[in-house]
């Protein structure tokens, strides 16, 4: 593999050909906010939080799916990027019913964390308060659509890591919904292996272990990491 | 209540501020020329609308204090039922869940009618600062109030602006 | 099939021409006004009058003047051409008796009307003339000879060179130079390559591609085959939306007929070139017109876009290099091969060559499909060809480019219609929808209509488009309900900028265009609906209320 040299925020970095901007930035300890990215799964460039400026490109590019090139000059922070990221998060909070105070993932939620990291102290858009249900038909897990941000991490964990493909997306636009099998109650979805990888991959409290109460739903991503490392590197260890 | 967790800081504070209006201050009318108002809770009835406009007109610095004021929070969960749910909400709270004397409180001019939906304070009036948290922790309040007392525009960052 | 056999079929067909040809439009528009019954009645009447040997009753595709339909064209062998408009099934008898010199009170149209006279037809040259369900008609006017020429006299390089020199740009909307795209696919390494035709036309008010597919399906197939030869593909897909059942059935017939004659399939024209075309039918999502979503849909996945790069030309269907062009783009190819790049480049402007088909609709006297040279002033289209607004009203604005486009105000009607000029006015060429609005139109409502469309059609993958369009629609609703303030308008403008710059695909990136362009030219209509700010916000230096 050839090495590529590029600069991120003025800092010169070298990385293997084929690496993404996000990988290279994280290796260089440069933080780029993400929400739909999760190590070990295919990147989809959906949440738009990792957008960066690339000199010579008029469009903003998602760091997670943009492959590095020789001589690339990347900026991960600017007033414009900060503003867009903040707006993206505000749009998410206004979209569904995110009530942190009574959420199982309070304190362990990536949406909540990103909001304060990006300086969101209130939401300027009207809250839409859509009607969404909670699916508690599975014996061990629950899905609260009110807290779902449609990042599709559960969908990818289910198909890419577990290989079950129980979870998918139905509908479109704001009416999109994570479904089990052919839009059946989760408890009746035959393909579900009850492995819980979707629950661990969820950035918010949308997917939770049944019985967890406010702030109890901590995610254990090491389990996902273990499977991915085993498969890709033939190492049966949890990544440091 | 979280405000009371400020403990001994309350004594320092008392020396520097005059509390002119609050649920625990015996004042019927919101006074003029108030420096700072910390608004708790979301706007959910017609009295609240009148009140926030009065507050805005008579106050230099308006602060949304706590998640209910900032986001609607738990009090706004009823909005998910859709518009025109006031009656259902009252029915559920005062009749179905009542253990004694089930009846919907109604008295024109005394019991303010509920709004169609609960809204955060800043959807109705201009808010100068937001103090998130359910409740905002005492250290967070202290940091915020101290900055105000120093005459600065309070700048909170990181976990100090965390929702929930 | 060899060239002489092909020519023999064409000659035989030409020789069998009768004295008079009665052409009835059997495109979806006219069929909806019973032109199918009319067509049958005409055949019956011709037979009853004993004219079968002299009169051909031909099913044809769209003649363009859709607002006057159903249309019947009459070609006399000596060259005289007549046109009947608003023809009802019962009029068949009168038309046939007219052929024998009898009286006829069916409304006569003028084949020399400016609506027709100002057109330059390349893509639609055969529309309304050939029977779309009969390949011999297409062969008789020289069909598939360009493919033969490309296969026997040209190679990949010379074809791509010709397309590049012709200046043809993608007719799907963005106007990417076709030659460069073809060259990229040809150069991309890969044993398997694909050619895909995008027939998922979805803009409100647009029906150019439907018309081409319904009227002249072989033209598109021939263009695809030439493209496949140029880029090294052996498999093509025609992606057509399910709402176009007639186009789909005519394409199926066309593919079958072309295969039977060895013009598609294996060893075309007895060369080593193989090319098969399969039809894929959309399931009703507008976003599947976006190329990466379209490819996902063909692969059997949920039709959602993915970030580019990699572009389909490098990594398309199942990871293979894929040439993806729009129906109209492919429909230009055989003419360019037949008549040369210079001929094609003689039409249009410096940067926008050739012609463009538009669906002229809305508040305009003459509705229908037109094909005009690039660079024609918008005023000529709207006033001369379209006849202006009906009922004594004046034209206020022209919307081009559908939900991704903008509204061009009347004062800019002298703008030449080309990619750059429309772009300068904040609109786009788009795929060819052209909706005329008169002075009764409320521009904020127009913006709201398009935003509702984008909101409903957002696939939901990326947050700015999914949640941003909802908030933009909500703000527009507030404005039209007179519940919004200047702060809301500021918020709307800020969202337009954000959604445009951060959305994943073209749908989101262009969704704010109708708002931005109406704000640019009709801002006062928005401002007239705003309410005074009652939030007590301090007034900023620019005189506006300070946002939070």
Q: Residues B41-71: pLDDT tens digits?
A: 999 999 999 999 999 999 999 999 999 999 9
Would you place residue A239 in the very low, low, confident or very high pLDDT band (cuts 50, 70, 90)?
A: low
Does the pLDDT at position C67 exceed 80? yes
- Per-residue DSSP letter, A68: P
Q: Which domain holds residue B53?
A: 2-17+35-85+118-161
State the best of C289, C467, C490 to mutate against chain A, taking most chain A CBs within 10 Å: C467
Q: Is residue B104 part of a domain?
A: no
Query: Which one, of C364, C508, C510, lies nearest residue C429 by Cα?
Result: C510
**Around Cβ C255, how many Cβ atoms within 10 Å?**
22
Strands C235-240 and C276-281: parallel
Domain ranges of chain C: 18-111, 153-342, 355-438, 443-527
Would you place residue B25 in the very low, low, confident or very high pLDDT band (cuts 50, 70, 90)?
A: confident
Q: Is residue B113 part of a domain?
A: no
Q: Is residue B77 part of a domain?
A: yes
Q: Is residue A105 part of a domain?
A: yes
Compute the average pLDDT of residues C285-311. 96
Structure tokens of C206? 């647009």
* C443-527 CATH, one of 2.120.10.30, 2.60.40.3880, 1.20.1440.230, 1.10.150.120: 1.20.1440.230
Would you place residue C63 in the very low, low, confident or very high pLDDT band (cuts 50, 70, 90)?
A: very high
Q: Is residue B45 part of a domain?
A: yes
CATH architecture entry for C153-342: 3-Layer(aba) Sandwich (3.40)
Of the three residues A77, A105, A134, the one that is the final residue of a domain is: A77
Total number of domains in chain A: 2
Q: Is residue B102 part of a domain?
A: no
Determine the length of chain A. Answer: 240
- Tell me, yes or no, whether A61 and A90 share the same domain: no
Compute the average pLDDT of residues B123-152. 95
Cα–Cα distance for residue pair C216/C214, rounded to 1 Å: 6
Which residues on chain B are in Cβ contact (under 8 Å) with A106?
A: 164
Q: Is residue A239 part of a domain?
A: no
Cα–Cα distance for residue pair C250/C61, rounded to 1 Å: 10
Would you place residue B120 in the very low, low, confident or very high pLDDT band (cuts 50, 70, 90)?
A: very high
Does the pLDDT at position A159 exceed 70? yes
Q: Is residue A129 part of a domain?
A: yes
- Tell me, yes or no, whether A153 and A229 share the same domain: yes
- Tell me, yes or no, whether A91 and A168 share the same domain: yes
Domain CATH for A93:
3.30.70.20
Record: contact A116-B162, CB cut-off 8 A: yes
- Tell me, yes or no, whether A167 and A87 share the same domain: yes
Compute the average pLDDT of residues B125-148. 95
Q: Which domain holds residue A186?
A: 83-233
- Tell me, yes or no, whether A15 and A103 share the same domain: no
B53 touches chain C (CB under 8 A): yes
Q: Are C505 and C287 in contact (CB under 8 A)?
A: yes
Domain covering C355-438 assigned CATH 3.40.605.10 in the classification: no
Q: Which chains touch C (3 or more CB pairs under 8 A)?
A: A, B
Does the pLDDT at position A38 exceed 70? yes
- Tell me, yes or no, whether A22 and A101 share the same domain: no
Rounded to 5 degrees, what are φ and ψ at A6?
Answer: -150, 175
Domain CATH for A44:
3.10.20.740
C101 touches chain B (CB under 8 A): no
Domain CATH for B49:
3.40.50.700
pTM, full prediction: 0.94
| A219-233 residue pLDDT tens | 888 888 888 888 888
CATH architecture entry for C18-111: 3-Layer(aba) Sandwich (3.40)
Compute the average pLDDT of residues C358-378. 96
Of the three residues A33, A55, A77, the one that is the final residue of a domain is: A77
Q: Are C60 and C113 in contact (CB under 8 A)?
A: no
Of the three residues A54, A77, A100, the one that is the final residue of a domain is: A77
Q: Is residue B122 part of a domain?
A: yes
pLDDT score, position B85: 78
Q: Is residue A238 part of a domain?
A: no
Cα–Cα distance for residue pair B10/B18, rounded to 1 Å: 12
Would you place residue C103 in the very low, low, confident or very high pLDDT band (cuts 50, 70, 90)?
A: confident
Q: What share of chain C has pLDDT > 70, as a percent? A: 98
Which residues on chain B are in Cβ contact (under 8 Å) with A119?
A: 157, 161
pLDDT score, position C545: 47
Of residues B82 and B143, more confidently modeled: B143
Q: Is residue B65 part of a domain?
A: yes
Q: What is the mean pLDDT of chain C?
A: 95
Provide the phi-psi class of C369: left if phi over 0, else alpha when psi is between -120 and 50, else beta. Answer: beta
pLDDT score, position C540: 61
Q: What share of chain B has pLDDT > 90, as a percent? A: 76
- Chain A: residues touching C (Cβ < 8 Å): 44-48, 51, 59-62, 65-67, 80, 83-84, 87-88, 91-92, 94-95, 122, 124-126, 128, 149-150, 152, 168-169, 171-176
- Strands (E) located in chain A: 3-8, 11-16, 51-54, 61-62, 73-75, 134-135, 141-144, 167-170, 177-180, 207-209
Compute the average pLDDT of residues A176-180. 98
C538 touches chain B (CB under 8 A): yes
């Amino acid at each position: 593999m050839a090495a590529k040299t590029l600069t991120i925020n003025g800092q010169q970095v070298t990385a293997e050909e084929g690496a993404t901007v996000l990988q290279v930035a994280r290796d260089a300890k440069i933080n780029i906010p993400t929400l739909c990215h999760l190590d070990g799964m295919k990147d989809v460039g959906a949440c738009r939080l990792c957008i960066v400026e690339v000199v010579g490109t008029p469009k903003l590019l998602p760091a997670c799916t943009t492959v590095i090139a020789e001589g690339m000059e990347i900026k991960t922070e600017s007033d414009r990027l900060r503003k867009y990221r903040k707006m993206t998060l505000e749009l998410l909070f206004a979209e569904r019913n995110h009530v942190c105070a009574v959420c199982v993932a309070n304190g362990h939620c990536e949406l909540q964390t990103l909001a304060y990291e990006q300086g969101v102290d209130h939401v300027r858009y009207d809250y839409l308060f859509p009607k969404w249900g909670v699916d508690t038909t599975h014996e061990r897990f629950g899905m609260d659509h009110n807290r779902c941000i449609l990042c599709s991490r559960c969908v990818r964990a289910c198909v890419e890591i577990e290989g079950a493909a129980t979870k998918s997306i139905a509908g479109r636009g704001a009416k999109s919904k994570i479904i089990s099998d052919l839009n059946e109650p989760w408890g009746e979805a035959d393909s579900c292996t009850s492995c819980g990888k979707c629950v661990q991959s969820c950035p918010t409290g949308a997917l939770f272990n049944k019985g967890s109460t406010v702030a109890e739903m901590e995610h254990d991503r090491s389990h996902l990491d273990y499977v991915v490392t085993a498969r890709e590197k033939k190492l049966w260890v949890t990544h440091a | 209540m979280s405000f009371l967790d400020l403990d001994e800081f309350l004594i320092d504070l008392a020396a520097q501020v005059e509390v002119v209006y609050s649920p625990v201050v015996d004042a019927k009318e919101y006074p003029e020329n108030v420096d700072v108002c910390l608004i708790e809770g979301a706007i959910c009835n017609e009295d609240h609308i009148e009140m926030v406009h009065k507050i805005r007109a008579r106050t230099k610095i308006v602060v949304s204090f706590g998640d209910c004021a900032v986001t609607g929070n738990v009090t706004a969960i009823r909005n998910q039922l859709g518009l025109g749910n006031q009656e259902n909400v009252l029915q559920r709270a005062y009749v179905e869940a009542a253990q004694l004397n089930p009846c919907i409180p109604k008295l024109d001019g005394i019991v303010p009618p509920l709004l169609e939906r609960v809204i955060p304070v800043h959807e109705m009036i201009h808010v100068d600062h937001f103090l998130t948290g359910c409740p905002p922790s005492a250290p967070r309040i202290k940091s915020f109030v101290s900055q105000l007392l120093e005459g600065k525009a309070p700048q909170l960052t990181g976990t100090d602006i965390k929702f929930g | 099939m060899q060239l002489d056999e092909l020519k023999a079929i064409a000659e035989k067909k030409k020789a069998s021409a009768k004295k008079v040809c009665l052409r009835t439009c059997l495109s979806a528009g006219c069929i909806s006004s019973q032109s199918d019954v009319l067509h049958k009645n005409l055949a019956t009447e011709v037979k009853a009058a004993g004219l079968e040997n002299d009169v051909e009753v031909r099913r044809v595709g769209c003649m363009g003047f859709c607002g006057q339909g159903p249309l019947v064209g009459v070609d006399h062998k000596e060259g005289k051409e007549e046109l009947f408009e608003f023809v009802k099934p019962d009029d068949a008898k009168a038309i046939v008796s007219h052929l024998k010199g009898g009286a006829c009170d069916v409304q006569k149209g003028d084949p020399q009307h400016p609506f027709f006279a100002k057109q330059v037809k390349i893509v639609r040259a055969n529309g309304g003339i050939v029977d779309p369900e009969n390949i011999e008609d297409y062969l008789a006017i020289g069909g598939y000879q360009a493919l033969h020429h490309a296969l026997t006299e040209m190679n990949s390089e010379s074809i791509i060179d010709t397309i590049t020199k012709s200046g043809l740009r993608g007719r799907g909307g963005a106007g990417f130079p076709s030659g460069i795209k073809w060259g990229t696919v040809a150069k991309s390494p890969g044993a398997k390559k694909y050619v895909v035709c995008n027939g998922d036309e979805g803009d409100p008010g647009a029906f150019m591609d439907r018309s081409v597919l319904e009227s002249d399906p072989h033209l598109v197939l021939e263009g695809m085959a030439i493209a496949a030869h140029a880029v090294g593909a052996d498999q093509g897909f025609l992606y057509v939306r399910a709402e176009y059942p007639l186009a789909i059935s005519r394409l199926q017939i066309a593919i079958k007929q072309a295969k039977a004659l060895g013009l598609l399939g294996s060893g075309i024209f007895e060369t080593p070139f193989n090319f098969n075309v399969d039809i894929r039918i959309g399931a009703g999502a507008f976003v599947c017109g976006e190329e990466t979503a379209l490819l996902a849909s063909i692969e059997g996945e949920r039709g959602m876009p993915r970030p580019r790069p990699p572009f389909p030309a490098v990594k398309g269907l199942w990871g293979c290099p894929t040439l993806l062009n729009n129906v109209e783009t492919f429909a230009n190819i055989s003419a360019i091969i037949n008549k040369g790049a210079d001929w094609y480049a003689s039409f249009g402007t410096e940067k926008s060559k050739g012609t463009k088909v538009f669906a002229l609709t809305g508040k305009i006297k003459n509705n229908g499909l037109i094909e005009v040279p690039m660079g024609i002033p918008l005023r000529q289209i709207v006033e001369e060809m379209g006849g202006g607004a009906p009922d004594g009203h004046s034209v206020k604005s022209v919307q081009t480019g559908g939900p991704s486009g903008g509204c061009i105000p009347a004062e800019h009607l002298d703008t030449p219609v080309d990619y750059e000029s429309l772009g300068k006015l904040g609109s786009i060429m788009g795929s060819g929808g052209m909706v005329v609005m008169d002075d009764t139109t409320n521009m904020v409502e127009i913006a709201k209509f398009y935003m509702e469309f984008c909101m409903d059609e957002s696939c939901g993958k990326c947050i700015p488009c999914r949640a941003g369009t909802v908030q933009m629609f909500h703000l527009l609703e507030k404005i039209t309900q007179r519940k919004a303030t200047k702060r809301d308008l500021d918020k709307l403008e800020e969202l337009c900028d954000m959604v445009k710059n951060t959305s994943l695909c073209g749908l989101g990136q262009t969704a704010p265009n109708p708002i931005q362009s109406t704000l640019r030219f009709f801002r006062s209509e928005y401002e007239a609906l705003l309410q005074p700010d009652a939030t007590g916000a301090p007034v900023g230096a620019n005189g506006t209320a300070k946002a939070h």
